[in-house]
Amino acid sequence: MATVLNPRTTEYEFLGPIGALLISVSTPVAIYALYFGCSEVAGGCPSQISFESVLQALSSLEWWKGLWDTEATLIYLAWYAFCVISWAVLPGDVVEGTPLRTGKRLKYKLNAFSTLLLTVGLTTGWIMANGPESFTFIYHKWVGLVTAFLLLAFVEATYCYIGSFQQGKLLALGGNTGNVIYDWFIGRELNPSIGVFDIKTFNELRPGLILWLLIDMSMVCEQATRRGGFANVTDSMWLVLLFQGAYIVDSLYNEAALFTTMDVITDGFGFMLAFAIGFVPFTYSLQARYLVFHPVDLGYLGVIGVVLVNFVGYYIFRTANAEKNDFRNGQNPKNLKFMTTARGSKLLTSGWWGRSRHPNYLGDLLMGLAWCLTTGFETPITYYYIVFFTILLIHRQRRDDEACYKKYGADWVKYTKLVPYRIIPYVY
């Protein structure tokens, strides 16, 4: 019975154990490299990236000093504990997730958005009472905070991996290869939990995404402190806070959408997801961190251009996601065309989902581009996000396409003929 419910995984993703090991080592290194290659301690950001510039940056810095910072570790643990306590005490509707292979449905408490409101309220109150200089520690304790999150991610992934061997656990279909490194990385148990505390869905939004907003707020405070008050903060910095803040608010406000994503339905919780909690805030906030030591004034035209790109991206992202969410919830307010599959599920074939198979990714990419544009054109490093995100979404689209093919078979082939473009209509 156990093997029927938890079959052995026979196919690898990410190039198997070697790929999993390489990603687990190289991505943490990349986070540090983004800091040591583009920060005040590195003397700014290079105008071009070359092997020599990377070597020079690494050899001229005693970068290993300060990797560990006890105060930063305690701050990070306190932040994580605050998120757990908020989850436990703040009220929220309880909703059911999609049915599991066991036929059971897990229950989730929706209070990520109230956790965000509480956090932002408390932080804003603190800054107003104590001035911008009172909330700049994230900028100054950057490296120590990164180390703290990496260690916690390692501990969480290892705890969940070991716990997955207890009897009665439901494993992820893709995480039961028997290879320790691969299963630890990809996530062996589908929904690890401590009592009613679901480790995966908790980590997906709260400690990482809310921290991203706090980081941006801290960067605004650091720039305000250096430039003599909030009135002198640059337009580019405000735009980063506004755009990324809106993106974060949107994700947390739509918390319920999380329970139908690939991460929650298909993937287990391993180092890949545990790591993403900190990878997102500490690298997606690069533009804000850069603007602290390299302020950019966009001027009216620059602001209009960047706002326009972001707005078009947001419009596509939101309307595409809304069309699919409405449809999956049994509504079709725009009367969009659809096809019915042999499994019984329906697939939209008009509206945004008739233009490409992942129109929401297109919107997401345009927004990412707008964030990078706020930093001007003096260094390619601040464009890391759009490059990384494009690779991530192309890979994710391919994974999802494969999963949909397994789910829908010939119906999926029919759908891909009706909607041939993967992400960008008429281009890709």
Enumerate binding residues for ligand NDP (CB under 6 A): 261-262, 317, 321, 324, 327-328, 345, 347-348, 353, 358, 360-361, 364, 396, 400, 403-404
Using alpha carbons, select from 321, 115, 78 the residue that is nearest to residue 204: 115
The DSSP letter of residue 345 is -
DSSP string over 194-253: ETTEEHHHHHHHIIIIIHHHHHHHHHHHHHHHHHTSGGGS-HHHHHHHHHHHHHHHHHHH
Shortest Cβ distance from residue 324 to ligand NDP (Å)?
5
Nearer to ligand NDP, 135 or 385 (CB): 385
Nearer to ligand NDP, 73 or 283 (CB): 283
d(CA 69, CA 322): 43
Shortest Cβ distance from residue 197 to ligand NDP (Å)?
23
Shortest Cβ distance from residue 276 to ligand NDP (Å)?
8
CB atoms within 10 A of CB 427: 9
Shortest Cβ distance from residue 397 to ligand NDP (Å)?
8
Shortest Cβ distance from residue 2 to ligand NDP (Å)?
26
The CB-based long-range contact list for 207-210 (8 Å cut-off, 24+ gap) reads: 207/79, 207/80, 207/83, 207/277, 208/276, 208/277, 208/278, 208/280, 208/281, 209/116, 209/248, 209/251, 209/252, 209/280, 209/281, 210/83, 210/115, 210/116, 210/119, 210/248, 210/252
Paired residues of 193 in beta bridges: 198
Shortest Cβ distance from residue 371 to ligand NDP (Å)?
11
Nearer to ligand NDP, 151 or 404 (CB): 404
Nearer to ligand NDP, 134 or 345 (CB): 345
380 token code pair: 């390619």
Shortest Cβ distance from residue 352 to ligand NDP (Å)?
9
Shortest Cβ distance from residue 42 to ligand NDP (Å)?
26
Shortest Cβ distance from residue 328 to ligand NDP (Å)?
6
Nearer to ligand NDP, 170 or 348 (CB): 348
- Tokens 């706002």 — which residue? 307
Nearer to ligand NDP, 396 or 414 (CB): 396
Q: Which residues contact 289 (CB under 8 A, 6 or more apart)?
A: 39, 139, 142, 215, 219
d(CA 182, CA 178): 8
What count of residues does the chain have? 428
Paired residues of 108 in beta bridges: 95
Nearer to ligand NDP, 69 or 323 (CB): 323
Q: Is 151 exposed, middle or buried (0-12, 13-18, 19+ CB in 10 A)?
A: middle
Nearer to ligand NDP, 90 or 339 (CB): 339
Nearer to ligand NDP, 51 or 426 (CB): 426
- Tokens 């345009």 — which residue? 366
88 token code pair: 């436990």
